[in-house]
């Protein structure tokens, strides 16, 4: 099941980058009770609940940056239920005009073919340790 989960995550990033079919992807591949945990280092660290909470979180990022783009540099299937990603994000700050470029690990946990939990880490090694791949 883990390779199928990797393909679901890959498809989600493709949808995000194209700016199309995001609502369909959310409803098809995210559990209605999803919990999405932002990095504890994030100034707005929070847990976003359900489809609407997740959508609002993503929309905040889209509203903050022009040309926001995700380049996934690493996908790792972890066990039967998790996918680790290492993502390079780039964009142009909408208010500041400053070019942004940062990395973020995003770990997705699956149950019955749907994402039930997401978690972000700014530190690659910390994220690998969180999934047992130190």
Domain ranges within the chain, ordered by starting residue: 2-130
Q: What is the pLDDT of residue 1?
A: 56
Residue for token pair 């194209």: 18
Choices 1.10.443.10, 3.10.450.50, 3.40.50.970, 3.40.50.920: CATH for 2-130: 3.10.450.50
Cα–Cα distance measured from residue 72 to residue 41, given in angstroms and rounded to the nearest whole number:
21
Angle at 102 between CA 119 and CA 64, to 5 degrees: 85
Percent of the chain whose pLDDT exceeds 90: 89
**pTM (whole model) above 0.85:** yes
Q: Is the dihedral of CA 14, 67, 64, 101 positive or negative?
A: positive
For the residues 121-133, what does the mean pLDDT come to?
A: 96
- What's the mean pLDDT in 34-54? 94
* pLDDT value for 44: 82
The mean pLDDT of 22-29, rounded to a whole number, is 94
Asked if residue 103 has pLDDT above 90, the reply is yes
Burial 28-49 (b: 16+ CB within 10 A, else e): ebbbeebbbbbbeeeeeeeebe
């Amino acid at each position: 099941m883990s390779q199928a989960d990797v393909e679901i995550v890959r498809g989600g990033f493709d949808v995000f980058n194209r700016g199309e079919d995001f609502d369909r992807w959310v409803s098809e591949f995210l559990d209605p009770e999803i919990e999405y945990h932002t990095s504890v280092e994030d100034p707005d660290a929070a847990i976003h609940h359900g489809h609407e909470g997740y959508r609002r979180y993503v929309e905040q990022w889209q509203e903050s940056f022009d040309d926001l783009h995700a380049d996934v540099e690493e996908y790792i299937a972890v066990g039967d239920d998790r996918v680790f990603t290492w993502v390079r994000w780039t964009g142009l700050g909408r208010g500041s005009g400053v070019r942004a470029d940062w990395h973020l690990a995003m770990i997705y946990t699956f149950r019955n073919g749907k994402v039930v939990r997401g978690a972000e880490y700014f530190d690659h090694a910390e994220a690998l340790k969180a999934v047992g791949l130190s």
